[in-house]
Structure 1
Amino acid sequence: MKALVLSAFGSTDNFAVDNIPDPVLKQGQVLVRIAAASLNPIDNKIREGLPIGPALPAVLGCDFSGTIVEVGDNVTGYSIGDEVFGLAGGVKGHGGTLAELIAADARLIARKPRNLSMRQAAALPLVSITAWEAIARANLKASEQVLIHGAAGGVGHIAVQLAHDLGAVVTATVGKDSDEAIVRGFGAEQVVFYRQEKPADYVSRITQGRGFPVVIDTVGGENLANSFQAAAISGRISTTASRATLDLTPVHSKGLTFGVVFTLIPMLYDIGADTHGDILRQVATMVESGLVKPLIDERRFGLADAPAGYDLLQSGSAKGKIVIDVA
């Protein structure tokens, strides 16, 4: 099969399209002919050498959509010809999705939403699971105020929709004027331009100084200090990016609950795979009901020019998820 192969960690110049052996099915797997794959920030971190990636030479990529062409032993509920999507590759022990075929753990996939194209479906798995788990970890409830940082980003735009569908009152932080219409269209009631307004100011304006009971921080790092400041007493914070050195004094003084979501744990440690499949099935139902939709950058890439897609992702200038057309 054809695949985009990474020969050395570092530059996207280390990618090249090559012919490699087809994957061999193991028990509990299905063989999927991939139609499309999407890129996520974690893919660039793995490309740069984050030590959770497959051994070199490696095929990267976590998300995909495609059609089942073979069903392995001990797999039930799937048949040849089923259109599926999932988060099932690109880390240690798992083949990547920037290839024509993948042997995917059947627990990590679900049937593709019927009303989406393969490109649209490929954009959903990682960001949907991450947003879902962040909201669940924070125990967000209907009618609660929730602050979502990075609301126009991959995880953020899904988190806005899930929180809105839950009945929460969503405040979204964005960086560009053009992002306001996007996040309002997904259900945000209040919008904060984080370069123009400090946490103390928007906490006063929107919550009358009480702070937000729930904060979903998809930016993380140094921005977590803003989340601590914006949270209410006894507030709950979920983040998807906690690689930082931080002063946790505000967490203590406010009695905050602080949780981290790392979506790749089921693949890395074989824990909770069934949960991810269940989340994808619920997301597919919501998509088919018109409650959730992906935001996709309009630029198109195939396997040969996928490195340019990685560069676009790194630049931070994409408008939505970057999708690679594999077939």
Structure 2
Amino acid sequence: MQAMTINAFGDPDLFQLSELPMPVLQPGHVLIEVKATSVNPVDCLLRGMGPEFAPELPAVLHGDVAGIVKAVAPDVREFSVGDAVYGCAGGVRGTPGGALAEYMLADAALLAPKPKTLSMREAAALPLVGITAWEGIFERARVGDGDSILVQGGAGGVGLMAVQLARVAGARVYATASTPQKQALVRELGADGVIAYRDEAVESYVARLTGGQGFDVVFDTVGGGNLVRSFAAARLNGRVVTTLALGSFDLSPVHLKGLSLEVIFMLIPLLHGVNRARYGVILRQLAELVDTGKLRPVLDSHAFHMSEVAAAHALLESGGALGKIVLAWD
């Protein structure tokens, strides 16, 4: 089969088209004919830095996948040959392969039937960001009817999902976004208010939108200094959820305001082989929301062929994308 591989960690131009052996079917797994994948920041991190959870070289990256089941292990009951599936199921150490290939071997527990109303490209944009947002909104922050939530980075991949899922939960949703185009997109997806964070300080929009009390929940999808700003935006005894807590931070505001702080690292089940079936369940719930019109992926306008993965990574790293970047073999 053909695959886009890297033989060293570094710049996007290290990707090359390679011929690899077909994956060998394993117990509990299915073989997927890959139709599409999407680019997530962690894919760029793995390619560029090769942290300890990267696949061994030569590596086939990318976890998000949408495709057709071509073979099923005898112990797998939930899928059959010909099923259209989607999931985040590889591209890291602890998994047998990545989605930048014509075929991908995937743990069946990490997959679900593709949403009926989505194309393969649209479905490939959903898994990692959808699972992360679901965990943050429903499992960690336990967002409920009437809660006020601030989504930091509302126009990012996870942010776009979080805004929509918070609406499903019945919350009053506010989000930060940088450009007028991104701000308009967040409003279109249902945010009650959008904050041009480059033009307004945290203290100002907290006073304007919450009467100075702070938000019940702050979902930080940016990390770095933005996590500190998230502490400032939360109310007393509020809840802060972040997807990026790497670094050194002053936790004094967390103590003085009695905040709860939750960290999401979506790759844990893939890396360590624990609780993988939970992701299959979440993907089915996301598919139901999609097919009932309550959730939709947002795709960037660039349509990349799988062989153009270097350009796709460069676009994501430039910050110039509006929506998820998707690659397909077709």
- Give the SS at the match of 2:302: coil
Contact 1:98 1:326 in 2 (8 A): no
Q: Indicate the RMSD between aligned Cα atoms, in angstroms.
A: 0.8
- Structure 1: 5+ residue stretches without partners: none
Note the alpha carbon deviations across 1:261-308, whole angstroms, 9 max, x for none.
000000101111011110000000000000000110111111221111
Per-residue deviation at 1:227? 0.2
Separation (CA, whole Å) in 1 of partners of 2:224 and 2:298: 24
Residue of structure 1 equivalent to 2:127: 125
Gaps of 5+ in 2: none
With normalisation by structure 2, the TM-score equals: 0.98
Given that 2:175 and 2:191 are in contact with CA atoms closer than 8 Å, whether structure 1 keeps it comes out as yes
- The DSSP-based 3-state class of the residue aligned with 2:317 is helix
The alpha carbon displacement at 1:211 in A equals 0.4
| 1:186-197 to 2 correspondences below 5 Å | 186-197=189-200
Q: Which runs of 4+ in 1 moved over 2 A?
A: none
Q: 2:75: which partner in 1?
A: 74
The residue number in structure 2 matching 1:31 is 31
Provide, for residues 105-154 of structure 1, a one-character-per-residue CA deviation record: whole Å limited to 9, x for no partner: 00000000011000000000000000001112011111100000000110
Q: CA deviation at 1:213?
A: 0.9
> 2:136 corresponds to which residue?
134
Cα deviation 1:226-267 (Å, max 9, x = unaligned): 000000000001101111211000000001000000000001
Find the aligned partners of 1:198 and 1:141 in 2 and give their Cα distance. Answer: 27
Q: Are the equivalent residues in 1 in contact too, given 2:141–2:241 (CA < 8 A)?
A: yes
Q: What is the alpha-carbon distance in structure 2 between the residues aligned to residue 302 and residue 6 of structure 1?
A: 17
Alignment correspondent of 1:89: 90
Query: Any idea what the Cα deviations from partners look like across 1:193-248, whole Å, max 9, x if unmatched?
Result: 11011110000000000000101000111100100000000000110111121100
Q: Who is 2:314 aligned against? A: 311
SS at 2:76's partner residue? coil
Q: How many residues of Structure 1 are paired with residues of Structure 2 in the alignment?
A: 327
Which residue identity lines up with residue 42 of structure 1 in the other structure?
V
Provide the C-alpha distance between the structure 2 equivalents of 1:272 and 1:326, rounded to a whole number of angstroms: 31
Secondary structure of 1:306's aligned partner: helix
Q: Distance in 2 between matches of 1:113 and 1:128?
A: 13
Say whether the 8 Å CA contact 1:146–1:215 is kept in structure 2.
Answer: yes
Q: Is the 8 Å Cα contact of residues 218 and 230 (structure 2) preserved in structure 1?
A: yes
Cα separation, 2, equivalents of 1:164 and 1:181: 17
- Give the CA deviation at 1:73: 2.5
The one of 112, 115, 120 equivalent to 1:113 is: 115
Alpha-carbon separation, structure 1, partners of 2:43 and 2:231: 28
Give the aligned partner of residue 53 of structure 1.
54
CA distance in 1, matches of 2:226, 2:167: 23
Written as runs of structure 1 = structure 2, the 5 A alignment for 1:205-284 is 205-284=208-287
Q: Percent identity of the aligned residues? A: 48
Answer with 275-284 or 131-140: which moved more. Answer: 131-140
Partner SS, residue 301 of structure 2 = coil
Find the aligned partners of 2:201 and 2:33 in 1 and give their Cα distance: 48
Is the 2:182–2:322 Cα contact (8 Å) retained in structure 1?
A: no
Structure 1 position 21 matched with structure 2 position 21: yes
How far off its partner does 1:326 sit? Answer: 2.3
Distance in 2, Cα, partners of 1:307 & 1:28: 32
3-state DSSP of counterpart to 1:317: coil
1:67-101 Cα distance to aligned partner (Å, 9 max, x none): 00000121111110000000001000320100000
Please say if residues 94 and 273 of structure 2, whose CA atoms lie closer than 8 Å, have aligned partners that are also in contact: no
* Alignment check: 8 A CA contact 2:94 2:272 kept: no
Letter in 2 for 1:286: L
